[in-house]
Structure 1
Amino acid sequence: HHGEFPNDSLLIKQGIEKFHVGGKIWQETQENIFSELLNVIDIKLPLAYPEGNQLTNPIFILLAGLTTTSDWIASNEDFFPFLNADLPPTDYFAIAEKQAQHALKTLGWYGWKSKGAPATFKELFPKFSPNALQQKIIEIAPDLVPPFMAIIEAPTGTGKTEASFYLADTILQKEHNAGIYIAMPTQATSNQMFSRTAEFLAFRYGDDELNLHLVHGASLLTNLEEQFKPTGIWGDEQPDMSNIRSHAWFLPRKRTLLAPFGVGTVDQTFLSVLKSKHFFLRLFGLSHKILIFDEVHAYDIYMTEIFKTLLHWLSAVGTSVIILSATLPLQTRKELMQAYHAHQMVEESVEFPRLSTVSEGSAQVINIGEFPSRKIQLGWIGQDINNITSTLKDKLSEGGCAAVLCNRVQRAQEIYNAVTDAFKDEKVETILFHARFPLCWREDIEARVLSNFGKGNGKRPLRSIVIATQVIEQSLDLDFDVMITDLAPVDLLIQRIGRLHRHENSSNPPKRPDKLKHPQCIISAPSIENDNLSPDFDLDSHIYSPYILYRTLLSLGKRQVLVLPKETDELIDNVYSLEPSASYSDKVWERLKSMQSEMMKKHSESARNAHNYLIPLSNTSLLGRLTSSLSDDLQSVSRGVLTAPTREISPSVDIVCLIKRDDGIYILDDQQPLNIQAPLTTQQVRACLRANVTINNWRVIKYFLNIAEPPSKSFKQSAALRWHYPVIFESDTYTGDGFTLSLDRNRGLKIKFS
């Protein structure tokens, strides 16, 4: 119920204290209740043990998840009110059975039923015919025996998502699995995938109840504040805190795992194998489903270690996995296949694009056809912002739509300032898009970007510049005429390049200026002329490995053209291979070996850090030693609360932007005044969440943890806001200890240190 197990020492201590166990009368009462239960549900003893006569870890975890879910539902007095009547057990059971059916139906547990037969690709996607990739998926789908893992590696924009939907639906109907969960790398990519999934499911099932669950977060339950209030559980310190703790599970970011269909970030799946509260409930929610992981190449070493442990568990609990990627290093693919099924491995090399499958009895890697390659013109400029503005002036002289991709928010804001100043006398639409906007503003920007540059758009600007961070690197279906990008690892550069002329072969391709008829990518990078052994990667070296950046620079630095996807494997192998290139001088190779050694040390440290939090499938003390005080609240830190980190990134703090006006305090973009000490309504909670900004600067975090006032009582009593800090901006400014936060509609949250 509380999400963690008692440890061995506590059990031993309480075993000695008979008060906690009860005497003979208590034991007889337990036996009588158990006997009555067996009679009512007509179960005969002895009960059969699980296969192998032992309670294995997967069985134990699923049982723990089922028990907790049942406990929470049964604790809801709205569904199971107390009865004063002295009823015989059989009569009470008949009433309880009807109440249980009503509870499960109301909570959406019965929101989905199998259609009973797989649909054809044409039935699922009537607007287009399957391409080579999708045709190969159609061919192999009938032979896949769940649980299995399939890795689809193909270029961006080639229909991997539709292929995964078809494969998942086919297996879902054939095997009557529990549902589908789609795990995305970021919130922005989750938002767009949510819309695509809702559209697909509405077309596939046409079920109002199913669609309602999707609209409310693809969740098992609906509104957290009103719908579900378990009470009266022994061990809760006080009733109001009991409700807050219990409600926390049913927040949208968590409850999607129990729903038949869900879309969210990969972090929620990672928490199912980390020493966090309710990890077993998450695994229960994922069991016997089909999981689709998109953009897996975006995972770093730390995340990959968690992912491999997760794959091992998913295989054990009967969950099939579909992995999508445009750029996956060979070694990573092998490690993922080994993690899902350690006894099945293939060594042969198969050309990109490819499909890899692994299950209990087989493993294979096959080519999935060819896709037309295109030439990408490469250009190079220095890292100075003036180089970027002058390049944009040149490239957009006849019009066109440009993207400038930055590795850091602050650099994106600085470039935005320079670009708006450089084009202030010209008619150019300029948009800044990064993760440090309040959610309500960020959603508007994302919708605007998708409207302007998405597929089939008839409102494409004549001249426009989008300055963005990695939020548009993955999964967002956008098309630009020309791109300027900060240097990044080669696989991520290929991802970014995938946003160039992406809709060229669509039914309504964008009209482009003559100057931009061919895709062009200009990379802003330090110089490596004259065998520069120490290129200045500046703060980017805190985001990406300097070794990988240097090898990317060496691999691409003399190129003027890329041919993609034909050269994808070659480019990735040139950068990620541990072998030297014949084109490197001895001095360069010596420098690379030194940088590689540093990278390997950091990789080993990252792997060790991940394993400190992981729950391995083979853990022989799953019960006794997994007690943990780690919170499952992601990212945000709070006083005295340790979190189970799903990513090896700096801690962060969540602030809610409140605005001080003459007549009171308002939530950002909300029209009603707020009493910050009074209990919050559901509408106010949602408005606060939409006014949230996440900050990962340590000086700001330290201030809110140790100096600023703690969250207000109203925030503490809200399951959704208990770790958020209300920040009151006066004239769009908030002054902390040695820093200033300022809100700007076009630039987002700016941090300035004094």
Structure 2
Amino acid sequence: MEHTGSIVDLMRGMGLPQETIARVSRLWGKSAARNGGRTHLLLGHLLDTAAVAEVMWDRYLSAALRHRLEEISGGRGRLWFMWICGIHDCGKACPAFQAMDDADAAPVRAAGLVWGRLPSDRRQRWRHDVAGAALLRPRLVAEWGSSESAAWVWPLVAGHHGTFPSVQGLKPKHREVQGRGAAWEAVQRAVVDVFTRAIGFAGLADARPVGALNRAEQLGLSGLIVMADWIASDSEQFDGMADARTVSLASARQRAEAAWQRLGLRGGWDELAIPEDRLTPLAGRLGVPPRASQQELVERAWSMPVPGLMVAEAPMGEGKTKAALAAAEVLAARFGLDGVFVAMPTQATSDPMYEQVLEWVRTFDPELEAQVALLHGKRRFNPTWREIWESKRIDPVGQSARGEEPAALDPFDVYGATEEDAEYGMSAWTSDASGRPQEERDGPARWFLGNKRGLLTAFAVGTVDHLLYAATRTRHVMLRFAGLVGKVVVVDEVHAADVYMRQFLLEALRWLGQAKVPVVLLSATLPPAQRQACVDAYLSGALSAADVVCSVPEPAGYPCVTAAYALNGASAVVSSREAVPSWRASTSTRIDWLPDADPDGGLLASTVRKEAADGGVVLVVVNQVDRAQAVHRALTEAGFDGQVRLLHGRLCSAHRAERTEECLRLLGPGANEERPERMVVIATQLAEQSFDVDADLLITDLAPADLLLQRIGRLHRHSGTRRPSAFAEPRVLVSGVAVGERGRPRFLPASKGIYGEWALLRAATLVAEAAGPLSGGTRQTDGWSIPADVPGLVARAYGEAEVCPPDWDEAVAREVWRAKEQQREKDAEGFLLTRPREWGAPTLEGLHYGGIQAASEEDLDAVVRDGKRSVEAVIVRRSASGYRAIDGTWIGVHGEVDDETVVGRLLGGTVRLPSRLTEAAEAEETGLVPLPGWTGHPWLRYAPALVLEEDGTAVLGKDRVSYDDVLGLVVEGG
């Protein structure tokens, strides 16, 4: 039974000696210097954390996780969750920690807890998280009577500051840091016993779990411990208590409840009601007249006996994402899940999906809109996100419209750490604005805006990178994984992950499978080998076994859904039922060559002028920014007077967002009234996926077959679109390739650099069957039947059988490709959360052995995406009197910015630089650093500035760089 009085009364009731009571009553957990001027006692912090955990149990944890904790604790899940969260800091009861603050150490010494000379070498210090595990582990083994139970619990204590050590790492390198003598031993024992009794266990033995969580569940639980600790460590929410007579569980509960309310925290659905009608989530909530493929996905969600993996393959424009949301509702209701994470391939595709998820979530409860997070670095440019997350009461850097003090909100904070972390080389972080009550709060909890916290919101939409981050051996990975446990995970355009990124995706699927997290993968062009790999990875996790290989039946057709799950964690089931018809009949799409391997794209431009002379919407997709700019120049110089839009990755954030929105408005579904008579969109790979526009004609550079088919998915995409009679039938012109020696294709150098020669040779062969040889000749087919031919074309493109003519030397190209793929796989291995030989480990011990210390989102991008490093810079223009933003807004002599509206305009000039510019700037150690006036601003202080001189240019290495409002960043080689 929990103790209702103060901890001093409890210690007396336990019969502890008075000297031990006095000593325990002096141990501090938060120093006055770092806690708003007031010392907070160690037991007070432990009880605060337990009380926060109790609130989390009631209002944040998913029903599925609560059920698991009830199982392993013998029906005392709430109490055990409170205990494991609160016990995390017991290691602060040692000299290594108590000596950190001289003022707060003095009363501890005066009470009789002394220590000798402590090591000055940081490497010999004893971190309190490791100390806690070292102190607790032998007691758990002795009093629980089972080393197995202790083995998975102690790492939860040892890892609460971001990394999990091995058991060998628990031994202090310097004896003095642990505390010598009976006095230290008595207080260390008492801290554990008093806290355990205070929350309601009869003693430490009574807290023994009756079962064990698997390793993925342990990782999720560890992240929740970190979350509880960070909330309870916020000095603005939990003021200090230096008198042990005032410390009690009752007072901690009052503080936790008040803090939770002030922070505005909450979970998602809690226990979602199971829909009465099987199609209500689709037809009722989303208002979708169910297509056969959508209905199939939802039906599979109903039929799965346990959480599992579903792979939905359906044509572009079929409505897969809406079906996935409906399936997510069914899975969440059936298996007790509390939210959804939707992973998209790019930032550009995340924004429209955020709007869609937002509308969907509002149908459950309008107030839930505040629980939908947009996770990518450009979210502040999304007007809907700004309206919700930066409401009229709280602005972008935490200053409310009522004139309250600005927060210490720092989106670029290295660790998002708590105050004592500063002693270990980590920055402190404050999570809310003023700490004062905010009864008028109408926005979401800004606590979730902290670094590494975004996935902890109930509903999140973001780049797939956030899923991949949770599969890296990096600090605080458990916090990211905790944001996935208890959710349904949807990964759209899963084929878009290249072989390097795929290693992290497969690792994530292993962990999600073991954690019993339902996953829905979506693709229109998924190669069979990738489907097989995803199923094998998920089932390896679900079965807690390495290298599981389950034969995935060949889909009977297209669209189709493959389902995989493990029954009772022992046997795997993989099924793919009879395929269903697409919502629209397959259409013959004519494929023609437009031979042109000239990077300047002169032939493309003249062809566009000819094709669009009498109107129509033409989409031109090329593989290189310079080529896109060249085509645009050629069109404008030739006096083409149609509407022309240029869309690529070297546009600044503001221009890219404006043009993307305009294209979707004019060419999106139901846009007939606004659809222009003539328009040309020249784009790079940005238009390849999740770009819901409808073109009358597609002109595209050759790309691997699956990506080529994705581009064709923008052609005649929407039913009912009015078109000129000349474009009544869909037609594709394939460029970016010309006839080379012996009739072998000659590709654009940029295309070869991006995709490799083998994939392009295979794609050229498939195109030649439909368009005839490049050099002219007979077609083998009348075109491609879209979407019916899609799976067959993708399978042939990535199959083992050779398809190219003998003179093309396909075997040589394949070996070059295979060697590069294998090297990229190997390159990823060093960053994966677990190595292959470690997958069978039952606990988190040593998880971070040899791990990396990625310090920022940009550093993490370099971990989960290979290739040459590039950075984003904010373009500013130098003038005689100071600096201006890209739109001409004055920003001060040294770049100073006081107005947040100006900050938005300034950051609207953010652009990603080509890797060669980044390398040149780093080699010269000049430029690409924040302006002097940005030092104190949280959004700007880490933002590199690309300073354009008065002539509008900058020189980086051998390149001269300028920015044109139409063309974007222009790079001219020296």
Alignment pair present for 1:276 and 2:492: no
Shift of 1:165: 0.6
Shift of 1:104: 3.0
CA distances 1:607-652 after superposition (whole Å, capped 9, x unpaired):
101111111261757526435443153446xxxxx87511122111
Query: Which residue of the partner structure matches residue 587 of structure 1?
Result: 807
1:344–1:358 CA contact under 8 A, matched in 2: no
Alignment pair present for 1:358 and 2:567: no
Counterpart secondary structure, 2:360? helix
Q: Which shifted more, 373-382 or 227-236?
A: 227-236
Alignment pair present for 1:315 and 2:513: yes
Structure 1 232/631 Cα, relative in aligned 2: closer, same or farther at 3 Å? closer
Q: Which shifted more, 739-748 or 359-368?
A: 359-368
- The whole-number CA distance in structure 2 between the counterparts of 1:294 and 1:529 is 38
CA distances 1:518-563 after superposition (whole Å, capped 9, x unpaired):
1111100323588523623412111112101001101211314110
Alignment pair present for 1:442 and 2:656: yes
Alignment pair present for 1:573 and 2:774: no
Structure 1 51/39 Cα, relative in aligned 2: closer, same or farther at 3 Å? closer
Q: Which shifted more, 349-358 or 697-706?
A: 697-706
What amino acid maps onto 1:116 in structure 2?
Answer: A
Alignment pair present for 1:417 and 2:633: yes
2:650–2:969 CA contact under 8 A, matched in 1: yes
- The whole-number CA distance in structure 2 between the counterparts of 1:491 and 1:597 is 20
For residues 142-541 of structure 1, the aligned pairs below 5 Å read 142-207=302-367, 210=370, 216=385, 225=398, 226=406, 233-236=419-422, 241-243=427-429, 251=449, 254-342=452-540, 345-350=550-555, 351-361=557-567, 362-371=573-582, 372-383=585-596, 384=598, 385-422=601-638, 424=639, 426-457=640-671, 458-503=673-718, 505=719, 509-528=720-739, 531-533=742-744, 535-541=746-752
CA distances 1:356-376 after superposition (whole Å, capped 9, x unpaired):
011112221123311210111
Alignment pair present for 1:563 and 2:776: no
Q: Which of 268, 271, 274 pairs up with 1:112?
A: 268
Query: Which residue of the partner structure matches residue 727 of structure 1?
Result: 946
Counterpart secondary structure, 1:30? helix
Counterpart secondary structure, 1:580? coil
- The whole-number CA distance in structure 2 between the counterparts of 1:76 and 1:655 is 33
Structure 1 716/255 Cα, relative in aligned 2: closer, same or farther at 3 Å? farther
- The whole-number CA distance in structure 2 between the counterparts of 1:10 and 1:696 is 45
- The whole-number CA distance in structure 2 between the counterparts of 1:580 and 1:121 is 45
Alignment pair present for 1:65 and 2:223: yes
CA distances 1:47-86 after superposition (whole Å, capped 9, x unpaired):
4555655x75324422331222122111212211223555
Shift of 1:393: 1.9
Structure 1 570/717 Cα, relative in aligned 2: closer, same or farther at 3 Å? same
Counterpart secondary structure, 2:581? coil
CA distances 1:164-191 after superposition (whole Å, capped 9, x unpaired):
0100011122322131000011110011
- The whole-number CA distance in structure 1 between the counterparts of 2:332 and 2:257 is 24
- The whole-number CA distance in structure 1 between the counterparts of 2:464 and 2:179 is 41
- The whole-number CA distance in structure 1 between the counterparts of 2:877 and 2:742 is 53
- The whole-number CA distance in structure 2 between the counterparts of 1:720 and 1:355 is 43
Aligned length: 736
Q: Which shifted more, 325-334 or 663-672?
A: 663-672
Query: Which residue of the partner structure matches residue 849 of structure 2?
Result: 626
- The whole-number CA distance in structure 2 between the counterparts of 1:676 and 1:182 is 41
Structure 1 224/257 Cα, relative in aligned 2: closer, same or farther at 3 Å? farther
Counterpart secondary structure, 1:352? coil
Q: Which shifted more, 719-728 or 456-465?
A: 719-728
Structure 1 737/597 Cα, relative in aligned 2: closer, same or farther at 3 Å? closer
Counterpart secondary structure, 1:659? strand
Structure 1 60/488 Cα, relative in aligned 2: closer, same or farther at 3 Å? same
Shift of 1:307: 0.8
Q: Tell me, which stretches of 5 or more residues in structure 1 are unaligned?
A: 637-641
What amino acid maps onto 1:540 in structure 2?
Answer: S
CA distances 1:638-670 after superposition (whole Å, capped 9, x unpaired):
xxxx87511122111221112334553233347
- The whole-number CA distance in structure 1 between the counterparts of 2:933 and 2:476 is 25
Structure 1 51/665 Cα, relative in aligned 2: closer, same or farther at 3 Å? farther
2:473–2:832 CA contact under 8 A, matched in 1: yes
- The whole-number CA distance in structure 1 between the counterparts of 2:230 and 2:549 is 40
CA distances 1:284-305 after superposition (whole Å, capped 9, x unpaired):
1111211100001111111111
Counterpart secondary structure, 2:266? coil
Shift of 1:110: 1.4
- The whole-number CA distance in structure 2 between the counterparts of 1:716 and 1:6 is 34
Query: Which residue of the partner structure matches residue 163 of structure 2?
Result: 5
- The whole-number CA distance in structure 2 between the counterparts of 1:239 and 1:444 is 42
Structure 1 615/213 Cα, relative in aligned 2: closer, same or farther at 3 Å? closer
Q: Tell me, which stretches of 5 or more residues in structure 2 are unaligned?
A: 1-158, 375-383, 399-405, 410-415, 434-445, 541-547, 568-572, 772-782
Structure 1 602/240 Cα, relative in aligned 2: closer, same or farther at 3 Å? closer
Counterpart secondary structure, 2:593? strand
2:883–2:891 CA contact under 8 A, matched in 1: yes
Counterpart secondary structure, 1:147? coil
Structure 1 696/521 Cα, relative in aligned 2: closer, same or farther at 3 Å? same
- The whole-number CA distance in structure 2 between the counterparts of 1:681 and 1:339 is 49
Structure 1 206/249 Cα, relative in aligned 2: closer, same or farther at 3 Å? closer
Sequence identity of aligned pairs in percent?
26
Q: Which of 178, 195, 200 pairs up with 1:37?
A: 195
1:152–1:325 CA contact under 8 A, matched in 2: yes
Shift of 1:378: 1.1
2:489–2:520 CA contact under 8 A, matched in 1: yes
2:164–2:845 CA contact under 8 A, matched in 1: no
Query: Which residue of the partner structure matches residue 639 of structure 1?
Result: none
1:111–1:210 CA contact under 8 A, matched in 2: no
TM-score (norm 2): 0.70
- The whole-number CA distance in structure 2 between the counterparts of 1:89 and 1:58 is 35
1:659–1:668 CA contact under 8 A, matched in 2: yes
- The whole-number CA distance in structure 1 between the counterparts of 2:532 and 2:390 is 35
1:75–1:231 CA contact under 8 A, matched in 2: no
1:190–1:265 CA contact under 8 A, matched in 2: yes
1:733–1:742 CA contact under 8 A, matched in 2: yes
2:164–2:847 CA contact under 8 A, matched in 1: yes
- The whole-number CA distance in structure 1 between the counterparts of 2:897 and 2:179 is 40
- The whole-number CA distance in structure 2 between the counterparts of 1:294 and 1:737 is 39
What amino acid maps onto 1:752 in structure 2?
Answer: E
1:631–1:643 CA contact under 8 A, matched in 2: no
Q: Which of 820, 825, 832 pairs up with 1:614?
A: 832
1:395–1:516 CA contact under 8 A, matched in 2: no
- The whole-number CA distance in structure 2 between the counterparts of 1:224 and 1:403 is 40
Structure 1 84/717 Cα, relative in aligned 2: closer, same or farther at 3 Å? same
2:473–2:848 CA contact under 8 A, matched in 1: no
1:219–1:258 CA contact under 8 A, matched in 2: no
- The whole-number CA distance in structure 1 between the counterparts of 2:699 and 2:256 is 58
- Structure with larger RCO (C-alpha < 8 A, sep 6+): 1
TM-score (norm 1): 0.89
- The whole-number CA distance in structure 1 between the counterparts of 2:180 and 2:870 is 46
Structure 1 148/635 Cα, relative in aligned 2: closer, same or farther at 3 Å? same
Structure 1 107/345 Cα, relative in aligned 2: closer, same or farther at 3 Å? farther
